[in-house]
Amino acid sequence: MEIERIKKKIQRHNDELIELKKDLVQKEKEKYQYLVGKIYKSAATAMFKITAIEDVDDDCIEVEGVRIYGGKHSNGGLEIYIQDTKTIRKSTLEKYSCEGQFVTEEMFRKFIDSSIEIMKQKLNET
């Protein structure tokens, strides 16, 4: 009888721990909700617009968004991924802000427009 009581108690605590972990992840997701709508410039030829926070753990934030490869340095290449994921390390978030890795919506739109224009020019070359 004593063993069964202890097993039930352990299971109850495990269930409670699982619920607490779920609550923690939800709170973490809410904490990083400010990232939704931000645009991250990862290179001269790539930008990523965050559309959702998918998961958060101790070190990283998993985000979903739109990834675009293009721009004037892409040699006419243009790739658009409507639903892509990216992992952002929590330790680099402040660094991204300080180094200008996050850009404005206007800069993002100009990047897309210039990518399309370059693609059009390449298509019209004979």
The tokens describing 9, both together, are 């108690």
Residue 11 has pLDDT above 80, yes or no: yes
The pLDDT score that the predictor gives to residue 88 is 87
Helix/strand/coil for 1 = coil
DSSP string, 40-66: EEEETTEEEEEEEEEEE-SSEEEEEEE
Distances (CA, A) of 121 to 57, 72, 109, 110, 125: 44, 11, 18, 16, 6
pLDDT tens string 64-123: 999 988 877 776 677 888 989 988 888 887 776 655 688 889 988 888 888 888 888 878
pLDDT tens string 32-57: 999 999 998 888 788 999 999 999 98
The pLDDT score that the predictor gives to residue 97 is 62
Helix/strand/coil for 85 = strand
The pLDDT score that the predictor gives to residue 106 is 92
The pLDDT score that the predictor gives to residue 49 is 93
Name the pTM for this structure.
Answer: 0.75
Domain ranges in the chain?
1-31, 34-124
The pLDDT score that the predictor gives to residue 91 is 83
